[in-house]
Structure 1
Amino acid sequence: MRRDELLDAAEDLLCDQGSAALTLSAVADRAGVSKGGLLYHFPSKEALIKGMVERLIDDFDQLMAAQSGATYTERYLAATLEAVRSNRLRRWAVVTGASGNMFLLAPIREAMARWHSEGLDDEPDRVASQLVRLACEGLWDVASHDPDLNAESDLRALEDRCRALLKR
């Protein structure tokens, strides 16, 4: 079994049942592997959560790198919408899993600080850029709880309005 499949199983478990259900045995059961198979990749629950946190950050950084746009905020908006549309990132589940451990949350806080400060000085309208980035956070968090809440037409309308705000 691949590492990503184990991380998928852990994220699915968190989304379905919450942080109390996140045990190594439950993740192994969900993934259809022995507990020893899981321990080979993740020797502890903390290592498993750390793996989810690292993957979440790496995934979003890769989405950002794949986007085109004149400004960082335009790329941030496009990456967020791609994450929501593909249901690729499940930040709520990962943060829930890490919430009891400040050490495990530190990389998320550092990434969030980077994502929300990078390129702001180069933006035509710093405040509009901050508003769009914060709107992206809200959209991502809401979509994590209810992926079907916003239809594609809703996402297009939100994207258009955010892009218009950046053009002012």
Structure 2
Amino acid sequence: MSARDRILDTLEAILISEGERAATLDAVAARAEVSKGGLLYHFPNREALIGGLVGRARNYAAAYRDELRSSPDGPTLAYIRTSAETNTDFDRTLIALGRLGGDQHPEAASALRAAQQDWVDLVREEIGDEATARAIVLMGDGLYYNAMFQDAPPRDVDGLLRVVEVLRASVSRG
């Protein structure tokens, strides 16, 4: 793993476990086991470090969008199937971004909104209806939220996939 990735992983871990105030350049450098000069080589200031995390989130979001788009079952079913996945690299990055104050870091809030809008857009392109697409994305959000607090995978994914099929059919008949 590169020093840059180790620094970003460390920033994520600190943001998730201790919050933004603890994520100082000194703390990140120490826990990433790089010198402060090494950290500053990759990220010349705290804003650049946060920007690196935002860039990472945007890259993960683009990869996930491509994964959904190329799914043989289509993006909608793939989105629901993958919504309950937690503790992935993308998941940790999104949680870390969420720990940053949106008022102080609008670029972080913008990256989170853009990712969710990508999901809505993909589902809408397939389904053909904005309100139904938003409802399906919110269904995925609910799966994710519940998965965060359970030790086992959600039991109701197959049932929700059937609901999505019903929604899909009702929109196409609409």
Indicate the TM-score class for this superposition, using the shorter chain for normalisation.
Answer: 0.7 to 0.9
- The two structures, once aligned, show a CA RMSD in angstroms of 2.6
What do the CA deviations read for 1:70-103 (whole angstroms, capped 9, x no partner)?
A: 3322222234334x16464221221222522224
Indicate the residue corresponding to 1:12 in structure 2.
13
Indicate the residue corresponding to 1:25 in structure 2.
26
Whichever residue aligns with residue 59 of structure 2, its letter is: D
Indicate the residue corresponding to 2:150 in structure 1.
150
Indicate the residue corresponding to 1:114 in structure 2.
118
Indicate the residue corresponding to 1:43 in structure 2.
44
Q: Is the 2:80–2:140 Cα contact (8 Å) retained in structure 1?
A: yes
Alpha-carbon distance, 1:104 to partner: 4.0
Bigger Rg, structure 1 or 2: 2
What do the CA deviations read for 1:26-48 (whole angstroms, capped 9, x no partner)?
A: 11011011111111111111111
Q: Is the 2:10–2:32 Cα contact (8 Å) retained in structure 1?
A: yes
Indicate the residue corresponding to 1:131 in structure 2.
135
Q: Is 1:167 matched up with 2:165?
A: yes
Unaligned runs of 5+ in 1: none
| Count of residues paired in the alignment | 161
What is the percentage of aligned positions where both structures have the same residue? 30
- Counterpart Cα distance in 1 of 2:4 and 2:21: 22
Q: Is 1:75 matched up with 2:73?
A: no
The structure-2 alpha-carbon separation of the partners of 1:9 and 1:116, relative to structure 1 and needing over 3 Å to count, comes to same
Q: Is the 1:64–1:79 Cα contact (8 Å) retained in structure 2?
A: no
Partner SS for 1:70: coil
The structure-2 alpha-carbon separation of the partners of 1:59 and 1:78, relative to structure 1 and needing over 3 Å to count, comes to farther
- Counterpart Cα distance in 2 of 1:102 and 1:116: 21
The structure-2 alpha-carbon separation of the partners of 1:141 and 1:2, relative to structure 1 and needing over 3 Å to count, comes to farther
Indicate the residue corresponding to 2:98 in structure 1.
95
Alpha-carbon distance, 1:111 to partner: 2.9
Q: Is the 1:6–1:28 Cα contact (8 Å) retained in structure 2?
A: yes
- Counterpart Cα distance in 2 of 1:4 and 1:142: 29
Q: TM-score by structure 1 length?
A: 0.79
Whichever residue aligns with residue 101 of structure 1, its letter is: H
Whichever residue aligns with residue 151 of structure 1, its letter is: D
The structure-2 alpha-carbon separation of the partners of 1:139 and 1:5, relative to structure 1 and needing over 3 Å to count, comes to farther
The structure-2 alpha-carbon separation of the partners of 1:35 and 1:158, relative to structure 1 and needing over 3 Å to count, comes to farther
Alpha-carbon distance, 1:4 to partner: 1.3
Q: Is the 1:9–1:27 Cα contact (8 Å) retained in structure 2?
A: yes
Unaligned runs of 5+ in 2: 167-174
Alpha-carbon distance, 1:62 to partner: 1.6
